[in-house]
């Protein structure tokens, strides 16, 4: 990004579809192994939101989140994101 932004920037913006898809799958897979309490479609939607949020932090470093303090950042993101993802792990799906 620092030495040749014109090469990498499209793959983080207008051509980021494959990156979002890989990240979405990476985030959904652990939930699938745990038999999450929501549909696969909902899990994929939540994972995509997380992927897109992550991209925004990569592209725009100015933020009110404490990105220089990992523990504080984790606590802040957990507090903000918990309501979005809590449903995924509240109760396992019944065995088929």
Whether pTM > 0.75 for this model: the answer is no
Give the span between the Cα atoms of 73 and 20, in whole angstroms. 22
pLDDT at 15 over 70: yes
User: At 89, phi and psi to the nearest 5?
Assistant: -125, 15
In the block, residue with structure tokens 């983080």: 12
Query: Could you tell me if 73 and 67 are in contact, meaning their C-beta atoms sit under 8 angstroms apart?
Result: yes
Task: Tell me the pLDDT tens digit for each residue of 84-95.
Answer: 767 666 655 444
Task: Tell me the pLDDT tens digit for each residue of 31-40.
Answer: 666 666 677 7
Mean pLDDT of all residues in 30-59:
79
Closest to 57 in 3D by CA, of 21, 4, 12, 10: 12
User: At 43, phi and psi to the nearest 5?
Assistant: -60, -40
């Amino acid at each position: 990004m620092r030495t040749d932004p014109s090469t990498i920037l499209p793959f983080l913006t207008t051509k980021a579809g494959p990156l979002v898809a890989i990240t979405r799958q990476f985030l959904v897979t652990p939930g699938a192994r745990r038999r999450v309490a929501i549909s696969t479609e909902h899990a994929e939607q939540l994972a995509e939101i997380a992927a897109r949020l992550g991209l925004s932090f990569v592209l725009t470093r100015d933020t009110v989140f404490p990105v220089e303090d990992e523990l504080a950042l984790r606590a802040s993101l957990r507090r903000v994101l918990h309501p979005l993802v809590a449903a995924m792990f509240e109760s396992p799906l019944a065995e088929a």
